[in-house]
Amino acid sequence: MNKIPPFDVSEQFKLIGAEINAAVLEVLASGRYIGGPPVEQFEQDFADYIGTSECIACNSGTDALYLALRSLQVGPGDEVITTPFTFVATAETISAVGATPVFVDIDSTFNLDLDQVAAAITDRTRAVVPVHLFGRPVDMTRLMAIAKAHGLAVIEDCAQATGAAWADRKVGSIGHIGCFSFYPTKNLGACGDGGAITTNDPAIAATLRMLRDHGRRSGYYYEALGVNSRLDAVQATILQIKLRYLEGWNQQRQTVAERYQQRLSRLAGVVLPQTVLNGTHVWNQYTIRVTEDAGSPERSPRDTVRQQLQEKGVTAMVYYPLPLHLQPVYQHLGGSAGQLPLSEQAAREVLSLPMFPELSSEQQDQVVYSLKDCLM
């Protein structure tokens, strides 16, 4: 029995390790480790790839979200609408700037239900943070129309969706600001932490550059309370190389996803991810639902299947087991069980199967046969 991990970032290094080693050694020999040509070149390459005029590199996807909110002066008294079915950073950063996250439910795609976004808008709403969860694009045409009608800013959380597109435009180029993470397991991953912010607005870009560098535009003069959030030259060099492979890797992920869709299509007890009609899914995760048996609510079929898969050597993951409105950190907002039923059901049912570009068809067969075994 071979063990199959949920992801394996070392496979990429086998392919391009020599190229990365040579480029990193050059940076090490140069003596310029923070900022400089590698960072500027990566910012240019990434802006070109996403299709924006501006890219501001920073230290993480979390910082990208925080800085984006700060650059629009979202703060105390403001409400920001987002999803509870996401990684904590999406909401944590809204709270960090002093604003209040307003959680609305998801739909069957795992992304924000846009009817509920429209219904949640109040006088205090300043922005919406959609998350392109698991690499699946949100319907940005409709979201931008809602935002425009109410004068709201849209900050896209693209952490799981580098390269995804909606209606032929890459995510991160459609809203006012796009936020990306280069955490190693993301579609474009660094060998450490990293992030980037994209926008077509030069004034916002200038503010973002100021905020990421201690609130200064030059020298030792500080006009705002900033942070230290720089991408270093080694990470920028690695990302510059990996960016050239990203389209190919995303296509490999799509091939893996199609094979899962075909081989699991008639399996009872699971619901497969829906296909995207007007965009490109980049499959950071391939996430199914193991549907609940209405008769025995005390037993989670998902947890049973996950454990049985583990015994067969297949590691499946649960993103995310508890939606944010029910987390201890957000109890003060008054969230309660049953309030956002589709997010809560997703948290009980989701199971992410092994997904990475290099996953072989033999490995995938083992995942599929193991899963079928568990559901017999």
Ligand X SMILES: *Cc1c(COP(=O)(O)O)cnc(C)c1O
What is the CA angle 159-162-168, rounded to 5? Answer: 125
> How many Cα atoms sit within 13 Å of 287 on the Cβ side?
25
Q: Per rule CB under 6 A, is residue 195 in the interface with ligand X?
A: yes
- Residues 174 and 223: beta-carbon distance below 8 Å: no
Q: Which two tokens stand for residue 251?
A: 């296509």
Among 24, 27, 54, 62, binds ligand X (CB under 6 A): 62
Distance CA 228, CA 213 (A): 5
Place of tokens 């809602």: 146
Q: Per rule CB under 6 A, is residue 85 in the interface with ligand X?
A: no
Nearer to ligand X, 273 or 301 (CB): 273
Q: Which residue in 337, 286, 345 sits closest to 321, CA to CA? A: 345
Distance CA 83, CA 152 (A): 16
Q: Which two tokens stand for residue 369?
A: 């046969």
Q: Per rule CB under 6 A, is residue 131 in the interface with ligand X?
A: yes
Q: Per rule CB under 6 A, is residue 90 in the interface with ligand X?
A: yes
Among 166, 183, 286, 330, binds ligand X (CB under 6 A): 183
Nearer to ligand X, 236 or 368 (CB): 236
In DSSP terms, 352 is beta-bridged to 287, 317
Nearest residue relative to ligand X (C-beta): 61
Site residues for ligand X, 301-320, by CB under 6 A, read none
Distance CA 159, CA 193 (A): 12
Q: Which two tokens stand for residue 224?
A: 């705002």
Nearest distance, CB of residue 306 and ligand X, angstroms = 20
Q: Per rule CB under 6 A, is residue 60 in the interface with ligand X?
A: yes
Among 43, 78, 79, 157, binds ligand X (CB under 6 A): 157
Among 58, 67, 81, 159, binds ligand X (CB under 6 A): 159
Distance CA 161, CA 211 (A): 25
Among 49, 85, 87, 134, binds ligand X (CB under 6 A): 87
Nearest distance, CB of residue 375 and ligand X, angstroms = 28
Among 61, 178, 323, 357, binds ligand X (CB under 6 A): 61
Nearer to ligand X, 89 or 165 (CB): 89
Q: Which residues bind ligand X (CB under 6 A)?
A: 60-62, 86-87, 89-90, 131, 157, 159-160, 181, 183, 193, 195
